[in-house]
Chain A
Amino acid sequence: MDGLTPRWRTSLIWAWTAVIVVFMYLPGLCLLLASLTSSRYFVFPINKWGVAWWEKTFSSLEIHQLFKTSITIALCVTVIAVVIALFGALAFARYDWKGRSIYQKIVLLPIFFPQSVLGLALLLWFNALGLTMSWQTAVFAHLVWIIPVCTLVISIQVYSFDPALEEAAFDLGATRWQVFKEVTLPVLFPGIFSGALFAFLLSWGNFPLSLYTTGADTTIPEYLYAKMVAGYTPGVPVLGTVSTVGAAALLLIGYGLILILRRRRASAPSDT
């Protein structure tokens, strides 16, 4: 290790990272390739290219219904998660209080928990309460795991938040609500935005929690799983590609928006 000059080490680290990034995206590429064939079975190298399966998948009414269910769940989860997580994050990182250290660990517990077991535990619990499983119970199940993640994401922004800003506003005679609306929210907005993005995408892609708690409703990951187990159909790679590209696009757009926001803030510091 001593023999390596810093320059060599840097290139090696870059190369290794590049290899692993390719590794992360290889299955996505395979899905894309498999979706672009017009034959019923996947044989590589592909001899008949085509987009027939894309057309078939997108004109299916069943798929439209799946999209609707998945998006409804993800949107409900996002709204509820962000509200609870925002207050949760202020307690996590902004205020000093007696139970904080224990509280921080309790918040982490659901993240450090196997999701398939969590899904079954929720199924038992809903059953004991006499609830019927539907997309509403799935929203609740997703929240158990997503609110803690969202709280962590927002907390990271809260750590860099200067409480003096709030105090200054109070000194100038602002009410509690005004301070929250005019100071706290705008300053924390990038964190809240990333939290919302995480919540939406994690709910959209979740399988283990949905599996046990959606009842008669079906989300896209559940549908894909059922199709995978039942045998091959090129509709699976099509939907898989759509969800991969969709997640990437949403994340890149979100990241771009945050960059623009930061630049605007940096160029107008007197505004706040």
Chain B
Amino acid sequence: MTTLGKIFGPGTRHAVPLIVFLLIGFAAPLLAVIGFSFIPARTFELWQSWSLDNYIEIFNSTSYLSFLWSLGLAAITVLILAIICYPIAYGLARVFGKYSTLVTLLFTIPLFVSENVRLYGWVLFFIKNGVLLGTLKAWFGIEPDSWLFTSGIIVFGMVYVYLPFMLFPMTLGVSMVPDQTRDAAFDLGATRWQVFKEVELPLSMPGIMIGFLLSFVLAVGAIAEAKVLGGQQIIPISHDIEIAFTYAQNWPLGAALAVLLMLVVGTLVLFVLRRFDLDAILGRR
């Protein structure tokens, strides 16, 4: 312990358990996936001749459609979330005062119920003879078509599930705007819109960007929304990966798809995170 203490400072020493754990539990599995993506299709043994066949198969298949669906749906979800969440984030940071802890808590609780259970609640709401259509039928005698099993409902489900992941980073961002700067802009004659565009938005950008990144990345990997609400009308990329691993029993192909998804997500995360000082975002409390 003492020799270790001489070589490493206290910061490094405290980081060791976590780093070691992430090496075994995060880096190694990802390397395993990369390894599996190069072995022949439908085999399960890692140490054999490696080739690029799985990737070639993907580029000759229709998997790119799943990729496009996932990216497109995630992008729409993030944009809708930004509009829904900004007023609430603003409220949490500046309006609600002593109630903001309670409001935060209200948005936190659903996070702890597994997402397919909550999505199932929406199925009961939208299904034929369910809460919405049953009420319409009983009270007004109208019977519109169920909204379930469309691409719209998948976006709806994703907006619902990932809302807190946009809201919380955004709130941290909005609370980083100092009152003095805002007041100064008003004193200098700026309009409400100018203050928003020139002061509040740029200064809260770090938090907003992290919210965008987090909800986008999670939405790209989303699978439950399309399965539970979408009735498998649309197959997102994670579903393709799951099919390769389960029904098709083709682990190498699934691994190759996962590697491509990891490349998209990883590039995006590294690109955005590199630009921010996390101390400034998290420490400002």
Contact = CB atoms under 8 A, between A and B. Distances in A.
Whether chains A and B associate is yes
Interface of A: 1-2, 4, 10, 12-14, 16-17, 20-21, 23-31, 33-34, 42-45, 83-85, 87-88, 90-101, 103-118, 120-125, 127-128, 140, 143-144, 147-148, 151-152, 155-156, 159-160, 201-202, 204-208, 212, 221, 224-225, 228-229, 236-237, 239-240, 243-244, 247-248, 251-252, 255
Contacts of B227: 229
Nearest to A95: B11
Interface of B: 9-19, 21-22, 25-26, 28-30, 32-33, 35-36, 44, 46, 84, 87-88, 90-91, 95-96, 101, 103, 105-122, 124-125, 127, 129-131, 133-135, 138, 160, 163, 191-193, 196, 213-214, 217-218, 220-224, 227-228, 238, 241-242, 245, 251, 254-255, 258, 261-262, 265, 269, 273-274, 277-279, 282-283, 285
B282 A124 contact: no
Contact of A20 (B16, B88, B254): B88
**Interface SS majority for chain A:** helix
Contacts of B108: 251
Given A104-B278, A106-B22, A116-B241, 6 more contacts: A4-B192, A13-B88, A28-B118, A44-B133, A84-B17, A114-B222
25 contacts: A13-B87, A27-B119, A30-B125, A42-B127, A85-B18, A87-B16, A90-B14, A91-B14, A93-B279, A105-B278, A106-B19, A107-B18, A112-B269, A113-B217, A114-B217, A122-B29, A124-B33, A124-B36, A144-B29, A151-B18, A159-B285, A204-B112, A208-B224, A228-B116, A243-B113
B163 A144 contact: no
A24 B124 CA distance: 15
A255 B105 contact: yes
Contact of B26 (A90, A124, A144): A144
A84 B221 contact: no
Nearest to A16: B87
A29 to B, nearest CB: 8
Contact of B118 (A27, A121, A122): A27
Contacts of B218: 114-115
B254 to A, nearest CB: 7
Contact of A14 (B91, B120, B242): B91
A43 to B, nearest CB: 5
Given A17-B103, A28-B121, A147-B21, A124 B14 contact: no
B247 to A, nearest CB: 13
Contacts of A147: 18, 21-22
Listed residue (B29, B192, B213, B283) with the most chain A CB atoms within 10 angstroms of its CB: B29
Contacts of A104: 278-279
Nearest to A157: B285
Contacts of A97: 9-12, 15
Contacts of B32: 121, 124-125, 128
Contact of A45 (B16, B110, B134, B163): B134
B109 A247 contact: yes
Contact of A207 (B114, B262, B283): B114
